[in-house]
């Protein structure tokens, strides 16, 4: 099965993989800017997210193979293709780069390290999403009120509510496959490992207010797998740095992808 994707612009390919509970729509504004700057931007819905297929399996190996199939379908030129991923999408991009280094020119990872995460920070989000009774839901406001019992941050709730949509029978549903994602949460936190490093250029962007990339990641974990990498900090940004500081992220990625 082929992942759902959308394209804009022409030029060197820039493939974007979103994070957990996100989907391609989250990246539209930046994608248009990169398209206007001369890229063929490909926005991807990863499995169990957005408009892509649902599956009981959700691992980085399976996501990497999904991206391989998409690259084949699009016939992307490896010599000019940049793969960018945020958070879970960043780990999927790392897995792809390590397994298929010949398929891309460079890698960009936003605010995630290859090391293991216990994913406890997602417990409140899973609880909030599970608390929304889709069978009796009558409005988005009701869904927001249910989420608020577990998730006080308005911005996080707004991000999650973008996944809520009405089906043909006018009932509500989530775009993401919540049961599969919940069942595979430990796999989403899994460490990315490889016997061989990715020797091509890689850019890691971290939010200055985020703790997803720690000092030991910069010193050991990232260079061990990506020896030709650089880590840049986007000041005053949290984990969703592309939403909080879009101008800075645009410029850093644009400079890296065209150098």
Residue 100 annotated as catalytic: no
Q: What are phi and psi of 204, to 5 degrees?
A: -110, 125
Q: What contacts 134, CB < 8 A, 6 or more positions away?
A: 171, 172, 173, 174
Closest CA to 134 of 161, 101, 154, 99: 161
Determine contact, residues 125/133, Cβ cutoff 8 Å. no
Q: 64, 87, 117, 229: which one is catalytic? A: 87
Q: Which residues of 179-212 are buried (b: 16+ CB within 10 A; e: fewer)?
A: eebeebbebbbbebebeebbeebbbbbbbeebeb
Q: Positive or negative CA dihedral for 211, 248, 160, 151?
A: positive
Residue 207 CA, chain-centre distance (Å), reads 15
Neighbours of 25 (CB within 10 A): 17
Residue 130 annotated as catalytic: no
Q: 4, 58, 239, 242: which one is catalytic? A: 239
CA distance 220 to 211: 16
Catalytic residues: 87, 239
């Amino acid at each position: 099965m082929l992942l759902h994707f959308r394209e804009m612009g022409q030029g060197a390919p820039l493939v974007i993989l979103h994070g957990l509970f996100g989907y391609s729509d989250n990246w539209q504004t930046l994608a248009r800017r990169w398209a206007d700057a001369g890229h063929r931007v490909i926005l991807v819905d990863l499995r169990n997210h957005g408009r892509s297929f649902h599956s009981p399996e959700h691992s980085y190996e399976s996501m990497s193979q999904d991206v391989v199939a998409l690259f084949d379908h699009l016939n992307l030129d490896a010599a000019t293709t940049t793969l960018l991923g945020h958070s879970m999408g960043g780990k999927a991009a790392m897995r792809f780069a390590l397994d298929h280094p010949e398929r891309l020119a460079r890698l960009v990872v936003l605010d995630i390290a290859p090391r293991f995460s216990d994913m406890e920070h997602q417990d409140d989000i899973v609880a909030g999403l599970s608390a929304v009774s889709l069978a009796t839901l009558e409005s988005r406001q009701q869904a927001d009120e249910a989420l608020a019992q577990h998730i006080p941050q308005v911005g996080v709730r707004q991000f999650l509510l973008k996944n809520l949509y009405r089906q043909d029978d006018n009932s509500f549903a989530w775009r993401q496959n919540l049961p599969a994602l919940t069942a595979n949460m430990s796999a989403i936190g899994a460490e990315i490992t490889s016997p061989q490093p990715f020797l091509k250029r890689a850019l890691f962007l971290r939010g200055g207010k985020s703790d997803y990339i720690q000092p030991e990641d910069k010193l050991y974990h990232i260079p061990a797998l990506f020896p030709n990498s650089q880590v840049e900090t986007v000041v005053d940004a949290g984990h969703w740095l592309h939403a909080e500081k879009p101008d800075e992220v645009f410029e850093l990625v644009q400079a890296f992808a065209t150098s």
